[in-house]
Amino acid sequence: MNLRRTAAIAKKEFKHLFRDIRMFMILILFPMFLLGVFGYAVNFDVHHIKIIVCDEVHSNLSREFINSLTRSTYFDLVDNISDDSKIKGILATKKAQCVIVIPNNLSRNYYSKQESKIQFLIDGVDGNTANIIQFYVTAATSSYSTNLSSDVLSINGVKQYTPIDFEPIFWFNPDLKSTRFLIPGLIAMILIISAAVSVSLSLVREKERGTIEQINVSSIKTSELLIGKTFPYVMLSLYNATMILVVGYFMFDVVVKGSYVFLFICTLIFLLASTSVGILVSVISDSQQIAFTIATFITLLPSVILSGFIFPIESMPVLIQIVTNITPAKFFIRILRAIVLRGVGIYSYWDQLLYLILFTTVLLGAAIFIYNRREKNN
């Protein structure tokens, strides 16, 4: 491979990139835009749950319980009702996500040391949100019940005794922010889309302009062409990766806990895998429109659905787990979460690096095979 010819192609591609200001600004600003939109929009944390209370007792005990719920940011009291026949209409019209029914025997049972039950009617259309609401109301009710038990025991001069207590401690994400879990997936998704699309468009552009024939009859080798064409976009993607980490730190408090050196090496290998996707797309595409459509389709959907970005791969059927290997984002997300969130060394993700290298080799081999076969047929 001649480095001078490779450098000349890379220089030419840099000039094309800087000359097309609109394309250049899209490649620079679009990743930041996606990070901001997805970072705030894709969030599993549920706050400001709209609740309506059907209080049949109207006692100090029921008011204290309601106040214990609304003191947090998780619940917003929308209304109070006294007729339980309105409950179905309230949930059907989504006026509230949860209706709390406090029975009229609450205070009587409490002071007579009997068990009381409070009913929570939750909108179960969105199963994930319903489960989170159930967890919140269960935790809030359990906490309030514990406080009441402590008060009763202290009045009677009895010290509360807990034979076995537990203290949960969450590592790596102490406040359980789902954004911290999702940011690595966003980084992988943004990088693979921008790298694959930009590389595929760059190579197909030569076909549309007819200059690919001049390149084919020249002394330039295929490896020189591919390296020279992809080098500017790999550098641009590395810049985008750096900016995403900076923006993620200031906007979402995501701190890299592991080695920056390993993070750079792994990102570079992932970008090579992403550009190999773009190269394969450019080989099978005859126009930039087709290349853009195919590159977006085979990078965006697998990165969102099959990479573990949102949906856990372990919970998928075995056949679908095998299919998830079609996207390099799956392997890179595992690496990012290991480095960025857990701060572990290469011993925990070396196999993912091997998968990325194998993925790159297979796709580049397929692209070169298809390209050479087409040239022979022509």
Could you report the per-residue pLDDT of 82-107, keeping only the tens digit for each?
A: 877 888 888 888 899 999 998 888 87
The proportion of the chain whose per-residue pLDDT surpasses 70, expressed as a percent, equals: 92
Name the CA radius of gyration of the chain, rounded: 29
Tell whether 134 and 32 lie within a shared domain: no
Concatenating the DSSP letter of every residue in 46-64 gives --SEEEEEEESS--HHHHH
Residue 165 located in a structural domain: no
The domain total for the chain is 2
Cα separation, 21 vs 46, in Å, equals 41
Range of the domain at 109: 49-155
Identify the domain boundary among 155, 186, 220: 155
**Burial track 320-352 (b if 16+ CB lie within 10 A, e otherwise):** eeeebeebbbbbbbbbbbbbbbeebebeebeeb
Q: Is the pLDDT of residue 135 over 80?
A: yes
Q: Is the pLDDT of residue 138 over 90?
A: no
Q: Residue 264: its pLDDT value, please?
A: 92
- The CATH number covering residue 122 comes to 3.40.1710.10
Q: Is the pLDDT of residue 339 over 90?
A: yes
Q: pLDDT higher for 73 or 324?
A: 324
Convert 141-196 into a string of H (helix), E (strand) and C (coil): HHHHHHHHHHHHHHHCCCCCCCCCCCCCCCCCCCCCCHHHHHHHHHHHHHHHHHHH
Distant-in-sequence, close-in-space partners of 40: CB < 8 Å, separation ≥ 6: none
Q: What is the pLDDT of residues 239-294, one digit of tens each?
A: 888 888 888 888 888 888 989 999 999 999 999 999 999 889 988 888 888 888 99
Q: In what order do the strands lie in the sheet with 98-102?
A: 75-81, 49-55, 98-102, 119-122
Q: Give the mean model confidence (pLDDT) for residues 127-134.
A: 85
Residue 318 located in a structural domain: yes
Tell whether 366 and 282 lie within a shared domain: yes
Ranges 26-35, 55-64, 318-327, most confident? 318-327
Tell whether 300 and 283 lie within a shared domain: yes
Taken in order 228, 226, 244, 295, the sign of the CA dihedral is positive
Q: Residue 162: its pLDDT value, please?
A: 61
Tell whether 113 and 71 lie within a shared domain: yes
Q: Is the pLDDT of residue 331 over 80?
A: yes
Tell whether 184 and 266 lie within a shared domain: yes
Average pLDDT over the chain reads 83
Residue 297 located in a structural domain: yes
Q: Residue 212: its pLDDT value, please?
A: 65
Tell whether 285 and 183 lie within a shared domain: yes
Q: Give the mean model confidence (pLDDT) for residues 52-69.
A: 86
Residue 91 located in a structural domain: yes
Tell whether 103 and 181 lie within a shared domain: no
Q: Give the mean model confidence (pLDDT) for residues 110-120.
A: 81
Q: Residue 355: its pLDDT value, please?
A: 94
Cα separation, 174 vs 191, in Å, equals 28
Q: Is the pLDDT of residue 330 over 80?
A: yes
Question: pLDDT band at residue 213, thresholds of 50, 70 and 90?
Answer: low
Tell whether 348 and 257 lie within a shared domain: yes
Q: Is the pLDDT of residue 231 over 70?
A: yes
Q: Residue 269: its pLDDT value, please?
A: 93
Q: Residue 1: its pLDDT value, please?
A: 61
Q: pLDDT higher for 168 or 8?
A: 8
Cα separation, 55 vs 68, in Å, equals 15
Q: Is the pLDDT of residue 164 over 80?
A: no
Residue 66 located in a structural domain: yes
Lowest pLDDT segment from 157-161, 273-277, 358-362, 368-372: 157-161
Q: What is the pLDDT of residues 36-51, one digit of tens each?
A: 777 777 777 778 889 9
Tell whether 295 and 199 lie within a shared domain: yes
Residue 68 located in a structural domain: yes
Tell whether 321 and 216 lie within a shared domain: yes
Query: Tokens standing for 136?
Result: 């919140």
Residue 162 located in a structural domain: no
Tell whether 263 and 293 lie within a shared domain: yes
Question: pLDDT band at residue 151, thresholds of 50, 70 and 90?
Answer: low
Identify the domain boundary among 124, 155, 186: 155
Tell whether 23 and 87 lie within a shared domain: no
Residue 169 located in a structural domain: no
Cα separation, 243 vs 27, in Å, equals 12
Cα separation, 263 vs 337, in Å, equals 11
